[in-house]
Amino acid sequence: MSGLTDWYRRVTTPREDGLPNGKVIGVPLGALGLLFAVLVILGITGSSTGVVHSLISSSSDPNLIAGSPETIRSDEWFVQTTWTISQVEQGLPIRNDTFPGGMDATVQHDLPTRDWSTALRPHLWGFLALPLDQAMAVKWWLPGFVMMAALFLFVIFLLPRQPVTATLISLGFYFAPFLQWWFLSITFYPPAWAFLVIATLVWCLRSRARVGRWVLAALVAYLTAAMGTGIYVPFIVPVVWVVAAFAIGSVLMPSEIHPRFRERAAAIVPVLVAGVVGVTLLCVWVFTRWDTIVGFTSTVYPGERLQPVGEGGQSELAALLSGPFSPMLGPSGGAPWGVNSSEAATFLLPGLFLFFPLVWAALRRQRDGRGADWLSWALVAVGLLFLAYIFLPGWDAVSHLLLLDRTTYGRIRLGFGVLSVVVIIVLAVRLAEERRAKGKLPLWPALTAVAAAAGGIGVAAFIGSSADFSFRNFAGTNPFSTAITALCLVLFLGAVLFFARGHLTLGASLLLLAAFASTANINPVYRGVLDLRETAAVQAIEDINRDAPGRWVGVASSPLSTMMLVEAGVASYNGFQSTPSSAMWDQIDPGGDSETMWNRLANVSWVIGEGDPDPRNPAPDQILLTFDSCGAFAQHNVQYVIAEEVIDEGCVHLLTSTEDGPTTMRIYEVIPAS
C-beta separation of 156 from 26 below 8 A: no
Q: Residue 426 and residue 617: Cα distance in Å, rounded?
A: 48
602-608/575-577 β-pairing: antiparallel
List pLDDT tens digits, range 42-86.
Answer: 999 999 999 999 999 999 999 999 999 999 999 999 999 999 999
Q: Are residues 358 and 477 in the same domain?
A: yes
Q: Residue 462 and residue 456: Cα distance in Å, rounded?
A: 10
Can you count the helices (H) and strands (E) in the chain? 31, 12
Q: Are residues 505 and 562 in the same domain?
A: no
Q: Are residues 401 and 446 in the same domain?
A: yes
**Within a domain: residue 663?**
yes
Mean pLDDT of 552-561: 94
pLDDT at 266: 95
Identity at 586, one-letter amino acid code:
D
C-beta separation of 298 from 596 below 8 A: no
Q: Are residues 511 and 538 in the same domain?
A: no
Q: Are residues 538 and 515 in the same domain?
A: no
Q: Are residues 473 and 537 in the same domain?
A: no
C-beta separation of 229 from 123 below 8 A: no
DSSP string, 387-445: HHHHH--S-HHHHHHTTGGGS-TTTTHHHHHHHHHHHHHHHHHHHHHHHHHHSSPPSHH
How far, CA to CA in Å, does 351 sit from each of 133, 176, 593? 38, 14, 52
**Within a domain: residue 137?**
no
Q: Residue 415 and residue 419: Cα distance in Å, rounded?
A: 6
Q: Residue 8 and residue 213: Cα distance in Å, rounded?
A: 27
pLDDT at 214: 97
**Within a domain: residue 249?**
no
Q: How far apart are the first and last CA of the chain?
A: 91
Final residue of a structural domain among 482, 498, 519: 519
Q: Does the pLDDT of residue 11 top 80, yes or no?
A: yes
Q: Calculate helix-pair angle for 210-228, 185-206, nearest 10 degrees.
A: 160
φ/ψ of 100, rounded to 5, equals: -55, 130
Residues near 409 by beta carbon (within 8 Å), at least 6 away in sequence: 307, 311, 312, 316, 389, 390
Q: Does the pLDDT of residue 1 top 80, yes or no?
A: no
Strands (E), 244-388: none
**Within a domain: residue 144?**
no
Final residue of a structural domain among 490, 519, 548: 519
φ/ψ of 672, rounded to 5, equals: -60, 145
Q: Quote the DSSP letter at residue 590.
A: T
Q: Residue 529 and residue 46: Cα distance in Å, rounded?
A: 9
Q: Are residues 451 and 486 in the same domain?
A: yes
For residue 279, with 0-12 CB atoms within 10 Å meaning exposed, 13-18 middle and 19 or more buried, which class applies? middle
Q: Are residues 564 and 641 in the same domain?
A: yes
Q: Does the pLDDT of residue 2 top 80, yes or no?
A: no
Q: Are residues 333 and 444 in the same domain?
A: yes
Coil/strand/helix, residue 96 = strand
**Within a domain: residue 326?**
yes
Mean pLDDT of 93-103: 97
**Within a domain: residue 620?**
yes
Mean pLDDT of 433-459: 95
DSSP string, 495-544: HHHHHHTT-HHHHHHHHHHHHHHHHTTTS-EEES---GGGSHHHHHHHHH
Q: Are residues 340 and 409 in the same domain?
A: yes
Q: Quote the DSSP letter at residue 317.
A: H
**Within a domain: residue 634?**
yes
pLDDT at 557: 84
Name which residue leads in pLDDT, 432 or 256.
432
Mean pLDDT of 153-178: 98
pLDDT at 224: 99
How far, CA to CA in Å, does 263 sit from each of 13, 207, 258? 27, 12, 6
φ/ψ of 636, rounded to 5, equals: -95, -20
**Within a domain: residue 214?**
no
The CA-based diameter of the chain, rounded to the nearest angstrom, is 95
C-beta separation of 600 from 304 below 8 A: no
pLDDT at 542: 98
Model confidence at 305, pLDDT cuts 50, 70, 90, reads confident
CA dihedral 297, 303, 304, 310 (to 10 degrees): -160
Q: Does the pLDDT of residue 467 top 80, yes or no?
A: no
Q: Are residues 341 and 477 in the same domain?
A: yes
Coil/strand/helix, residue 605 = strand
Model confidence at 568, pLDDT cuts 50, 70, 90, reads very high
Model confidence at 613, pLDDT cuts 50, 70, 90, reads very high
Q: Are residues 372 and 452 in the same domain?
A: yes
Q: Does the pLDDT of residue 603 top 70, yes or no?
A: yes
pLDDT at 311: 96
Final residue of a structural domain among 489, 519, 549: 519
302: preceding bond cis by omega (within 30 degrees): yes
Domain count, the chain: 2
Task: Look up the domain containing 615 and give its range.
Answer: 532-670
C-beta separation of 281 from 221 below 8 A: yes
pTM tops 0.95, yes or no: yes
pLDDT at 126: 98
